[in-house]
């Protein structure tokens, strides 16, 4: 067994090419190979609840403080855990939401774009 660290789309494509995946297969699967752990700081807890539900609906996760679900604190840090593909699907939904989520969606989109460069 070998653990493979994949940091960007080029590394994902190279790892798949090395085992003989087709070009179309690489296109389909590359973003699924890029797992991301992203820390967001001082997120409005209302937004954090929506962010968590959005990530869960896409197969990802968002870890939030215990004070988030009942809005006991105004802000929380959030640890988003998802593949690039899951993030890409979540971004359009987040852009439609209030409490700063459009800005978070824009930041996540910029981050995803940086993975392809």
pTM: 0.91
**The pLDDT of residue 116:** 79
Cα separation, 50 vs 33, in Å, equals 25
Residue 11 has pLDDT above 80, yes or no: yes
Residue 103 has pLDDT above 80, yes or no: yes
Is the domain spanning 34-115 CATH 3.30.1370? The answer is yes
115 — pLDDT class (breaks 50, 70, 90): confident
What are 68's two structure tokens?
Answer: 């988030």
For the chain, domain boundaries = 1-33, 34-115
Residues, the chain = 117
**The pLDDT of residue 49:** 98
User: pLDDT tens-digit profile of 38-67?
Assistant: 999 999 999 999 999 999 999 999 999 999
How many angstroms separate the Cα of 76 from the Cα of each of 14, 46, 58? 38, 10, 21
**The pLDDT of residue 117:** 72
């Amino acid at each position: 067994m070998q653990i493979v660290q994949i940091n960007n789309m080029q590394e994902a494509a190279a790892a798949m090419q090395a085992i003989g995946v087709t070009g179309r297969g690489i296109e389909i699967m590359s973003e699924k190979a890029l797992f991301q752990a992203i820390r967001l700081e001082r997120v409005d807890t209302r937004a954090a609840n929506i962010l968590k539900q959005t990530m869960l609906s896409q197969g990802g996760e968002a870890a939030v403080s215990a004070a988030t679900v009942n809005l006991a604190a105004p802000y929380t840090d959030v640890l988003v855990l998802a593949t690039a593909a899951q993030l890409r699907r979540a971004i359009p939904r987040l852009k439609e939401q209030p409490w700063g989520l459009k800005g978070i969606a824009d930041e996540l989109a910029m981050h995803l774009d940086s993975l392809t460069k």
